[in-house]
Amino acid sequence: MENFLQIVIYAVGFLAAIFGGIFFVQYILGRFKSDKGENAKGAGKIIGVFERAIIVPLIFVGAYEAVGLVLAAKSIARFEQLKDRKFAEYYLVGTLASLSFGIIVGLLAYMAAQIV
């Protein structure tokens, strides 16, 4: 029963980080104006979901260094766009909000599962 409860805690933490992060990042980015089109916002939301889906399991297994690789890979993919200061600020705020939410929820779920 103990293992089942841990699995449930991990699953809830995983889902909370992925889908709760959408609302958290939207709230944070709502304070910034963006001249990006709706397609860009939709793509960013999907990227954030995948980003947190990768980060949370890494937190669960203690592979904190690998989280930095996710951030680096994302930055390399957007390198040319980062030359635009307005985009760079918007991108950084969104990325850091997404990463922070995923890390915090992942750590909370991990600690809760250890208590059980």
Count CB neighbours of 69 within 10 A.
12
Q: What is the reported pTM?
A: 0.86
Residue 87 vs residues 6, 35, 57, 58, 93: alpha-carbon distances, Å: 40, 9, 29, 28, 10
Residue 8: CA atoms inside 13 Å, Cβ hemisphere, count?
6
Residue 43 — very low, low, confident or very high, per pLDDT cuts 50/70/90?
confident
Residue % of the chain over a pLDDT of 70: 91
* Mean pLDDT of all residues in 44-53: 91
Q: What pLDDT digit, counting tens, does each position of 79-98 carry?
A: 888 899 888 888 899 999 99
Question: Which domain does 56 fall in, by range?
Answer: 2-115
Q: How many domains does the chain have?
A: 1
